[in-house]
A and B are shown apart, each in its own frame.
Chain A
Amino acid sequence: MEQRALICIGCPMGCPITVTLDNGEILRVEGNSCKRGDTYARKEVTHPTRIVTSTVRLSNASAPVVSVKTAGDIPKEMIFPVMEALKAIRLSGPVRVGDIAAENICGTGVDVLVTKNVT
């Protein structure tokens, strides 16, 4: 039996969660105050994921860069490969919130979306 103590990052409350595992199998999740916490805890002890937010270069626009995010969670170990891939992207203005900056980034199945309107 193994216990893992986590802080939920699902929202700013930051609930302290305890996950009890037995040979990698999750027996219990305790301490969360919502469903989001349960989901986070189960993922975190098996295959942790994160949203990545960053910027990409922008030309022909009023700003030199525009902010972007992954449309959903990507595996934690893919954070740096994704950051590397973002270096190669150059968008041309104007761009709008929700525009796709890159599809299926690094084969994660997740798109990278623009998060700001820039003219």
Chain B
Amino acid sequence: MYDILIIGAGVSGCAAARELSRLQASVCVVEAREDVCSGTSKANSGLAHAGFDAREGSLMARLNVEGSRIMESLSEELDFPYRRNGALVLCLSEEDRPGLETLLARGRANGVEGLEILSREQVLAREPHVNPGVTAALWAPSAAIICPFELNLALAENAAENGVVFRFNTRVTGFSPMEGYWQIQTDQGPLEAKCVVNAAGVYAAQLHNLVSQTKLHITPRRGDYYLLDKTAGSYVNSTIFQLPTKYGKGVLVTPTVHGNLLVGPTAIDIDDPEGTNTTREGLEEISRKVESTVTGIPFRETITSFAGLRAHEDGHEFIIQEVEDAPGFFDCAGIESPGLTAAPAIGRMVAGLIRDKLALEEKAHFQPRRKGITDPWALSPQERQALIAREPDYGQIICRCENVTAGQILEAIRRPLGARSLDGIKRRVRPGMGRCQGGFCSPKVMELLARELGIGLEQVNKCGPGSELVTGVTKEADYEGV
């Protein structure tokens, strides 16, 4: 029996796990996929939003602004990349100017600091590639870019270091309310916990509806993106939004924290909670719409396109509360944008609710700091030489595009909650994230995975069981084993 069982190892679930790991309680995170950050949390814009967008007085607004304030110090504590690059919301016609003023007022009411309206000239001086038809823009200096994978991983690793148990490849199928606790059915057998946190992303409504008469409805809202090579990474400096007009919402353009350029997303409501397929229409919509925001984007530098899902709840609000007719069952649902930004605050809020419910005390020896995977390129030349002399794996480049070394890949596999799949390694240390998309390095990364995990290469997978990368050896008939 655990004190707390969290469903979903996305950014909300892991943030809650990390906050709960400060307390004297046993915590388990169950995740349907093979790794943390495998659903909604892995494919989004990677932004720490300033907080001017959400409706005044909403939970979304409060947690957004709080998350945005915490994020920088959290990035130091947990060692994940964060860069405060600021955001601009472009106003493209004088008649939309009142909308810009509304946004400014809302941001101020939400507590966003440093907001100001810039003139056309000021905008173009900062961002020469924005639509020259811009008339003014809202400048939000507290907006930042982060790495969604590393934030999620850092929270998970730190939680694990502080005693949280993670169970992967475990899909929750049902709940039975017991006397003062819950029995949770999974495809790996039943589990028990005093409290359940439902942080299941696009599946959160489905799980909620198993225990409550008050039904939730969540729509998977797909967003397609283009990711461009680092050669295009400085095409804009800040994150560029467009003020919604009568013609629609527009798409954003932002540098990523790793130096690429990200353009997107679309917003297409779908039925399939696994529907992360891009479509021709979606991708064309982006390249068409973005022209009104940023002109002349060098799309020929595209290295990949992808789609992510937002868990859009009908009321467009975060639902973080104990379910009224299911005591001990806590929803952490409807976490769509600005969910990534809000995650640290969501974690605090969930932990606070459960601390009060179970009357939990603080732990004496919580370890708040986590050290990220060694990046030899972030070290001083002297430190790097010493590292490579000590561990030559850090001198052996596996991914040529991103200069990822064997040392980093091995560390990604060997850490607590280590990578078990090609995508898991890619999210942690980025081999295959570059312009060749793994053409040269994936066979080598596959070999390292097989060796480290002690499995055959035919068992190495891309993103969990069923996604194996090779089907067998050549010359099969007469060949017995490796």
A binding-site residues for B, Cβ under 8 Å:
55-57, 64-65, 84, 86-88, 90
Contact = CB atoms under 8 A, between A and B. Distances in A.
Interface stretch (B189-197, B206-214, B334-342, B470-478): B470-478
B474 A88 contact: no
Contacts of B479: 57, 87
A50 B475 CA distance: 20
Nearest to B477: A87
Interface string B443-482: 0000000000000000000000000000000111111001
A2 B133 CA distance: 70
Given A55-B474, A84-B477, 14 more contacts: A55-B475, A56-B475, A57-B475, A57-B479, A64-B482, A65-B474, A65-B475, A86-B475, A87-B477, A87-B478, A87-B479, A88-B477, A88-B478, A90-B478
18 contacts: A55-B474, A55-B475, A56-B475, A57-B475, A57-B479, A64-B482, A65-B474, A65-B475, A84-B477, A86-B475, A87-B475, A87-B476, A87-B477, A87-B478, A87-B479, A88-B477, A88-B478, A90-B478
A57 B482 CA distance: 11
B438 to A, nearest CB: 21
Contacts of A88: 477-478
A2 B444 CA distance: 54
Contacts of B475: 55-57, 65, 86-87
Tell me if B's interface is mostly helix, strand, loop or mixed: loop
Q: Which 10 A-B pairs give the minimum distances between C-beta atoms? A: A87-B478, A87-B475, A87-B477, A88-B478, A57-B475, A57-B479, A55-B474, A86-B475, A65-B474, A56-B475
A55 B478 CA distance: 13
Contacts of A55: 474-475
Nearest to A88: B478
Contacts of A84: 477
A88 B482 CA distance: 15
A64 B482 CA distance: 9
A43 B478 CA distance: 34
A43 to B, nearest CB: 29
Contacts of A90: 478
B470 to A, nearest CB: 13
Contacts of A87: 475-479
A27 B479 CA distance: 49
B475 to A, nearest CB: 5
A77 B10 CA distance: 57
A84 B474 CA distance: 11
A58 to B, nearest CB: 11
B313 to A, nearest CB: 52
A5 B147 CA distance: 59
A56 B477 CA distance: 12
A86 B476 CA distance: 11
A65 B479 CA distance: 11
A55 B473 CA distance: 12
Interface string B213-236: 000000000000000000000000
Nearest to B475: A87
A102 to B, nearest CB: 13
A88 B478 CA distance: 6
Interface string B429-453: 0000000000000000000000000
Contacts of B476: 87
Listed residue (B474, B475, B477, B482) with the most chain A CB atoms within 10 angstroms of its CB = B475
Nearest to B476: A87
Contacts of B482: 64
A24 to B, nearest CB: 38
Contacts of B474: 55, 65
B476 to A, nearest CB: 7
A35 to B, nearest CB: 37
A83 to B, nearest CB: 9
B472 to A, nearest CB: 13
A93 B478 CA distance: 18
Contacts of A65: 474-475
A84 to B, nearest CB: 8
B451 to A, nearest CB: 14
Nearest to B482: A64
Nearest to A55: B474
A90 B473 CA distance: 14
A88 B479 CA distance: 8
A84 B477 CA distance: 9
A87 B473 CA distance: 11
Nearest to A56: B475
A86 B479 CA distance: 11
A86 B477 CA distance: 10
Contacts of A86: 475
A90 B477 CA distance: 12
A86 B474 CA distance: 11
A56 B475 CA distance: 8
A92 B410 CA distance: 31
Contacts of A64: 482
A71 B163 CA distance: 64
B187 to A, nearest CB: 36
Nearest to A64: B482
Contacts of B478: 87-88, 90
